[in-house]
A and B are shown apart, each in its own frame.
Chain A
Amino acid sequence: MLLDIIIDGLIKGSVYALLAIGFSLVLGVARIINIAHTALYMTAAYLIYMGTKMLGLPPLIAMPAAIVLTVILGLLIYNFFIKPIQEHEAAVLIATIAVAMMIQEVFLMSFGGHYLGVNPLVEGYATILGVKVTYQHLLALGLALVILVSVRLFLLRTRLGLAIRSTAQDREVANLMGMNVTRVAMGTMGVSVGLAAITGAIVVPLVTVEPTMWMHPLIMMLAIVVLGGLGSIEGSFVGAYILGFAESLVVFLLPMGSFLKDSVALSIMILVLLIRPDGLFGVSFEEER
């Protein structure tokens, strides 16, 4: 059973980490609480469904196309809905809730409330030490880890990464040093939405595509970033795995209460916050920022 928990927790944690890191990135750099983040993840999932099932495109074409289109949509949302009110954090929060609801309604009107699905890229399953894991889950785990490492390298090794980290550390100083903070924010938004879209592409063969599929990941993602420390990428990474494992533990140890997995994850978040109000990495990363 321990192995079941480890494998399941790793897969869940990696997917949550991808979502939470994208959200944290734009929160840390531009102070944008983008509630529409998971709605964009859903957008990518629907675009892949349209590409593969309705237009008959091969998944390897439909998926990158969906990611690009979602990033473009994300940047348009940033320009038209977020940028004009960026200085007012509460307004941004409300505006992005509205955007997320709009996206939900568009899909509800276009596709109805039908539960849709996309075929996995790789069929079949592997048995690892007696535990059955589908190849698609293994692929999702592998891709999630590759993307997480790539994001890390991007932030450490590229000029935009450097700009993002500088802005995240101190926006005013970065501005005074001649950096175009708005452009950096836009670049960060692009990367953030890109991560949401990639998560959508990785996860779409594993989940049911429907117009409210953005809500549960949103709750989990918010719990993770609060647990990890607002805007902390490392915190999000650790928080994602903690909650991923918490979910798995509940299902395996408390089968009658497997519906409680979200509540347990959220309770852990509350407990950590009671002991450490800034989240796991809040204090140290707050100083860095």
Chain B
Amino acid sequence: MKTMKWFGLVLTAMLLALALCLPAGAAAPIKIAVLGPMSFTQGEGHWNGATMAAEEINKAGGIKVGNQMRPIELIKVDTNEFLSIPDATNAVELAVSRHKADFLVGGFRTEAVLVMQDIAMDAKKVFIGCGAAHPALCTKVTKDYDRYKYWFRLTPINSKYLGKVDFILLGTVAHIMKKTLGIKKIKVAVVAEKAAWADPIVNISKKLLPAKMGMEVVGVWRPSPVAKDCTAELAAIQRAGAHIVFTTFSSSVGLTFAKQMGELKVPAAAVGINVESQKSGFWPATGGKGAYTETINTYARVEITPKTIPFYDKYVKLYKEAPNYTAGTYDALYIIKNAVERVGTIDSDKVVASLEKTDYVDTAGRVVFDKSHDVTWGPGYVTAIGTQWQDGKIMCVWPYHWQKVFYKGTVPYKLAPWVVDYWKNKK
């Protein structure tokens, strides 16, 4: 009889405990689809950033929706967008219709994201873009707000501002070269991969450099984005006597170009956009020959905001590589969390209204969306940074007191010693 009593007590306690746990355990998860080319670095960045944020948020109890704490469930969606845009379309359809995703984050190639965007808008799902930079993605919001209001773009800064930073970096290096080496007129070789996104930069360079920046364009080279050998281009650039090589690369050619430029010790400074040089793998892949390459970037181990270094260090610890800009999905999840918690619902229309009021300091700067739902660029907001490979490390070299902006940990830009030697001896 005594045993039965004990058994009854234990059973009651278990039932009670279960009942207490039920509300939290039973709360349906908020499903967030992470869209990206998962076999490639960009997709890995998307997934890693989102996973990091989801784990942190879930550990802290989840997202508070009204009175309920709901965990995040991530859905990994391989868009395979490098190889096939139809694959990307199908993947997003799958995420929306079969997996019933509540929110979408990610995307990389503008051509693919334009299609993904339409599917998300049809389904009235909030989609935070973390990869594609073309402004057309956001101008749709201003042109047809009712349809495209669910779209927001977080990272990187759009290509118009990327262009702006690009020319600021070029001007800064030109100034340093003039001052250090006493060069009167800087000669620039414009080297851009043959891709649509690079065309405006080439066209502006040809006009802007001589007319507004007092530089001479010694030639324009347009290698294939997947060129495996750039020695011919480099020989021609040297013959043209360029002081600076203004690069516009998003593909593998950036790695080949930087590697061969270092091997041949071409006496010119490489500055501009080189997406490959934003990655940790750039150094081993070039065998260290990519030293002194400068590029626009989003992350480096520098205090852009108080969140940057903890995020950077944790990311490196977990994934053994530096985060690239697609890892901005980390911030996207927190931005969704805050927007949902402000309105206490995951209803898309209400979340959109809440997202429009976002004023959030993330790992890359202060995020305030403009009317086109694009991230605001400039001092006090998100600026992007300029990084240079120095002694095997990605170092932040810009902004260096530009518009009174200085991020703690930023170091001065360095000219390659062979560049200094060549132009000093030339005089």
Contact = CB atoms under 8 A, between A and B. Distances in A.
A117 B287 contact: yes
A125 B265 contact: yes
Interface size class of B (residues with CB under 8 A): 35 or more
A118 B285 CA distance: 7
Contact of B228 (A123, A216, A259): A216
Given A4-B232, A115-B252, A134-B263, A259 B194 contact: yes
Interface stretch (A194-202, A226-234, A250-258): A250-258
B220 A256 contact: yes
Nearest to A206: B229
Interface of A: 1, 4, 8, 11-12, 53, 108-109, 112-120, 123, 125, 131-134, 136-137, 206-208, 210, 212-213, 216, 247-248, 251-252, 255-259, 261-262
Contacts of B40: 112-114
Contact of A117 (B41, B231, B238, B285): B285
Which of A8, A113, A119 gathers the greatest number of chain B CB atoms within 10 Å? A113
A208 B256 contact: yes
A258 B222 contact: yes
A115 B264 contact: no
Given A136-B263, A258-B223, A262-B224, A210 B252 contact: yes
Given A120-B263, A206-B229, A207-B256, A112 B239 contact: no
A114 B236 contact: no
Interface of B: 37, 39-41, 44, 82, 193-194, 219-224, 226-229, 231-233, 235-236, 238-239, 252, 255-256, 259-260, 263-266, 276, 281, 284-287
A114 B228 contact: no
B284 A212 contact: no
**6 shortest interchain CB distances as A-B pairs:** A113-B40, A259-B194, A117-B285, A251-B232, A119-B287, A259-B224
A113 B39 contact: yes
B290 to A, nearest CB: 9
Contact of B236 (A12, A120, A255): A255
Contacts of B281: 114-116
Contacts of B37: 113
Contacts of A120: 263, 287
B236 A212 contact: no
A258 B221 contact: yes
B229 to A, nearest CB: 7
Given A132-B238, A208-B252, A208-B259, 10 more contacts: A4-B236, A53-B284, A115-B255, A117-B285, A120-B263, A125-B264, A125-B265, A137-B231, A258-B221, A258-B223
A31 to B, nearest CB: 30
B228 A255 contact: no
10 contacts: A112-B39, A112-B44, A117-B285, A125-B263, A207-B228, A247-B232, A251-B233, A251-B236, A258-B222, A258-B224
Nearest to B37: A113
Nearest to B263: A134
Given A112-B39, A112-B40, A120-B263, A208 B222 contact: no
Contacts of A134: 231, 260, 263-264
A115 B276 contact: yes
Contacts of A123: 263
Contacts of B229: 12, 206-207
Nearest to A118: B287
A252 B232 contact: yes
A257 B264 contact: no
A212 B251 CA distance: 13
A158 to B, nearest CB: 33
Nearest to A215: B226
Nearest to A207: B228
A53 B110 CA distance: 34
B38 to A, nearest CB: 9
Nearest to B256: A208
B232 A108 contact: no
B238 A109 contact: no
A247 B228 CA distance: 12
B235 A132 contact: yes
Contacts of B264: 125, 132, 134
Contacts of A133: 231
Given A255-B221, A258-B221, A8 B231 contact: yes
Given A137-B231, A251-B232, A117 B259 contact: yes
A10 B49 CA distance: 47
